[in-house]
Structure 1
Amino acid sequence: MKKLGGYVLGFATLILVSMAWFYMKGSTLISGDTDKIAFAEIVSGVRTQKLTRLPGGIFFAFPRIEGGIETICRQGGQVKAGYATPHLHTRLVARVDGTCVKFVED
């Protein structure tokens, strides 16, 4: 029984350390009606960082650079919204707007 308690304590510690790391790392997330979005990235001058499209249409990244969030829609439109920086969390919610999307910060 004593051995089981050690495993539970180790697992709980691992979960807490992982949560603290994620919180301090920061994130950029685009959710909502993302079907019309073909590509999303963080842009800072000449440097860019692509957001990864995850299952369910969510775009996600741990920002390594500081800059604006830009999306390119499947119909060719481009939308700039939000700002991403390391160590902070940015979440944008996409809503359908004609052939592209508009964003609401959450």
Structure 2
Amino acid sequence: MRTLLSSPLPWLIGAFALVSIAAFFWLAGSMVVIDETGGVETAVAGNGSTERALHRLWGGYFYAIPRVEGTIEVRCRNGVRKQVGYVTRHMHTTVKVIGTKPCERLVKV
């Protein structure tokens, strides 16, 4: 007796769906901020007139798909604001916050 999961069709459909989702995220681009200091409160991408907030994830990571063209601004708990990098659609930008003090340095990875 043959079951539905023993036929290759569900596996092919599942694999195609996973590849399609991965391709969407790859083509859409990404903005990532990695906070190694623990001092980042929020991170946004903006160009002076429009801002897009990055979503706070676990472990000091912030992520969003870019919908504006501009720079990444990191806003820290101690009031410091720093900008670095360039973001736009279909481009991947990663920024790392490093140092011994909160938000001491920003490095584009």
Taking structure 1 as the reference length, the TM-score comes to 0.90
Match of 2:77 in 1: 74
Rg comparison, structure with higher value: 2
Q: CA deviation at 1:2?
A: 7.8
Taking structure 2 as the reference length, the TM-score comes to 0.88
Q: Give runs of ≥4 in structure 1 deviating > 3 Å.
A: none
Give the AA of the match of 1:24.
L
Q: CA deviation at 1:14?
A: 0.6
Separation of aligned partners in 2, 1:52 and 1:101:
21
Match of 1:15 in 2: 18
CA deviations on 1:61-105 (whole Å, 9 max, x unpaired) are 101100111111111111111111111110111102534231222
Correspondence 1:13-92 to 2 at 5 A: 13-92=16-95
Q: CA RMSD of the aligned region, Å?
A: 1.6
Change (3 A) 1:97 1:80: farther
Give the AA of the match of 1:38.
E
Change (3 A) 1:16 1:104: same
Separation of aligned partners in 2, 1:51 and 1:34:
17
Q: What secondary structure sits across from 1:100 in the alignment?
A: coil
**Percent identical:** 31
Number of residue pairs matched by the alignment: 106
